[in-house]
């Protein structure tokens, strides 16, 4: 480090435009970077500049990176079989437009929304109270609360081999020595639910064989079990029926769509939301096990009066 990059107390006070006495307060109370290797306080200028940056609370608004809607609707977030089929059907019906999906997990979807990289985020992150979904995460991650629309309710649980030869009846049974699991990635709502249930059962997830082996889609998880490479994994009921596997239910959850207020009335967004009330969407849900479309299209936030 060059000596000229070090500021003494007087120089730092001038640099920050404060009284010299305030410098000592910032060292003790605010973690101002400082060294006393020479017997007197010295301040590396580049670290002081970094420290100032971390203390900034009001950032300039980022320029928009997502252009106005011109026929491409981008959804990012949690993987879901019904959502995949819905997107496919809409794209078949409207070949002049397109709905594109990025499988980034629930938290990844919310963060893509924050970066303005998508029109809609799909999410099912359970909150600490075990009742509400997505609200707390949206408040924490986003500058402004988005509109939250229910896409569906779906049943989460443990997918197991046909006939359930390991006799798995609850999450606590995953503590058996001969159990091999296949998992979903961190940041997905399914992984969060499993980890919450393991914690309730007093089980350390990393102690289960295969806990760190992850697949990005529910269907891929089912194929791992069908092939015999795993005995169990957190998944939705629909996969059990599609692959003729057994299923141990944990709970029904809310799978929601988060939409920024400034994007809510975009043509593509409104077309997608309008499809949720059509009979063809209801038929898609009826063809799959473990879905409840009673609240599909319902505004959860702001609450409908």
pLDDT of residue 1 exceeding 50, the answer is no
State both tokens at 64.
């928009």
Q: Residue 217: exposed, middle, or buried by beta-carbon count in 10 A (0-12, 13-18, 19+)? A: middle
Looking at the DSSP bridge assignments, the partners of residue 42 are: 8, 35
pLDDT value at 98 more than 90: yes
Question: What is the arithmetic mean of pLDDT over 175-195?
Answer: 95
| Residue 2: burial class (beta carbons within 10 Å; 0-12, 13-18, 19+) | exposed
- The pLDDT of residue 81 is 98
In percent, the amount of the chain with pLDDT more than 90 equals 73
Residue 229 neighbours by CB under 8 Å, 6+ apart = 180, 182
Mean pLDDT calculated for residue range 199-226: 96
* pLDDT at 48 exceeding the cut of 90: no
Average pLDDT, the chain: 91
Mean pLDDT of 27-35: 83
- Give 257-289 pLDDT, tens digit per residue: 999 999 999 999 999 999 999 999 999 999 999
For residue 57, pLDDT over 70 is answered with no
pLDDT band at 224 (very low <50, low <70, confident <90, very high): very high
Q: What pLDDT shows up at residue 65?
A: 74
Structural contact between residues 240 and 159, judged by C-beta atoms closer than 8 angstroms? yes
Per the CB < 8 A criterion, the answer to whether 49 and 74 are in contact is no
141 with 111: CB under 8 angstroms? yes
Q: Is the pLDDT of residue 131 over 90?
A: no
Higher pLDDT, 65 or 213: 213
Evaluate if residue 59 carries a pLDDT over 80.
Answer: no
Q: Tens digits of per-residue pLDDT, 9-22?
A: 999 999 999 998 89
Cα–Cα distance measured from residue 8 to residue 185, given in angstroms and rounded to the nearest whole number: 49
> Do residues 233 and 224 make contact, with C-beta atoms less than 8 angstroms apart?
yes
How far from 142 is each of 107, 258, 259, CA to CA, in Å? 11, 11, 11
pLDDT exceeds cutoff 70 at 245 = yes
Beta bridge partners of 103: 77
Whether residue 62 has pLDDT greater than 70: no
**Cβ(183)–Cβ(213) under 8 Å?**
yes
pTM above 0.85, yes or no: no
Q: Distance (Å, rounded) from C-alpha 214 to C-alpha 71?
A: 34
pLDDT at 228: 97
- C-alpha–C-alpha distance, residues 181 and 211, integer Å: 6
Report the pLDDT value the prediction gives residue 39, as an integer from 0 to 100.
80
Q: What is the per-residue pLDDT across 84-97, written as a single tens digit (0 to 9) for each?
A: 999 999 999 999 99
Give the helix/strand (H/E) hosting 259.
strand 246-259
Q: Does residue 203 contact residue 175 with C-beta atoms inside 8 Å?
A: yes
Please give the Cα distance from 299 to 66 (Å, whole number).
24
Lowest-confidence pick of 124-138, 229-243, 256-270: 124-138
Instruction: State the pLDDT confidence band at 166, using cuts at 50, 70 and 90.
Output: very high
End-to-end CA distance of the chain, in Å?
63
Q: Look at residue 3 in the predicted model and tell me its pLDDT.
A: 45
The pLDDT of residue 305? 54
């Amino acid at each position: 480090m060059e000596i000229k990059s070090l500021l003494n107390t007087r120089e730092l006070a001038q640099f920050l435009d404060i009284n010299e006495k305030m410098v000592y307060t910032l060292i003790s109370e605010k973690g101002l970077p400082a060294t006393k290797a020479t017997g007197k306080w010295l301040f590396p200028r580049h670290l002081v500049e970094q420290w100032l940056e971390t203390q900034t609370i009001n950032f300039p608004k980022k320029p928009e990176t997502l252009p106005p809607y011109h026929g491409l609707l981008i959804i990012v977030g949690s993987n879901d079989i019904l959502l995949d089929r819905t997107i496919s059907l809409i794209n078949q019906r409207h070949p002049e437009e397109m709905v594109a999906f990025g499988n980034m997990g629930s938290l990844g979807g919310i963060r893509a929304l924050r970066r303005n990289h998508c029109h809609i985020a799909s999410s099912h992150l359970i909150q600490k109270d075990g009742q509400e979904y997505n609200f707390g995460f949206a408040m924490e991650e986003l500058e402004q609360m988005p509109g939250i629309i229910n896409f569906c309710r779906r049943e989460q649980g443990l997918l197991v081999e046909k006939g359930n030869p390991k006799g798995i009846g609850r999450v606590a049974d995953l503590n058996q020595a001969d159990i091999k699991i296949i998992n979903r990635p961190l940041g997905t709502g399914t992984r969060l639910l499993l980890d919450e249930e393991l914690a309730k059962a007093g089980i350390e997830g990393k102690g289960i064989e295969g806990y760190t082996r992850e697949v990005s889609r529910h269907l891929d998880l089912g194929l791992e079990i069908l092939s015999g490479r795993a005995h169990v994994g957190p998944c939705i009921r629909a996969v059990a029926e599609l692959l003729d596997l057994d299923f141990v239910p944990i709970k029904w959850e809310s799978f929601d769509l988060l939409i920024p207020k400034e994007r809510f009335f975009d043509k593509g967004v409104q077309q997608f939301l309008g499809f949720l009330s059509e009979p063809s969407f209801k038929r898609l849900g009826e063809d799959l096990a473990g879905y409840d479309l009673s609240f599909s299209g319902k505004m959860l936030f702001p609450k409908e009066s």
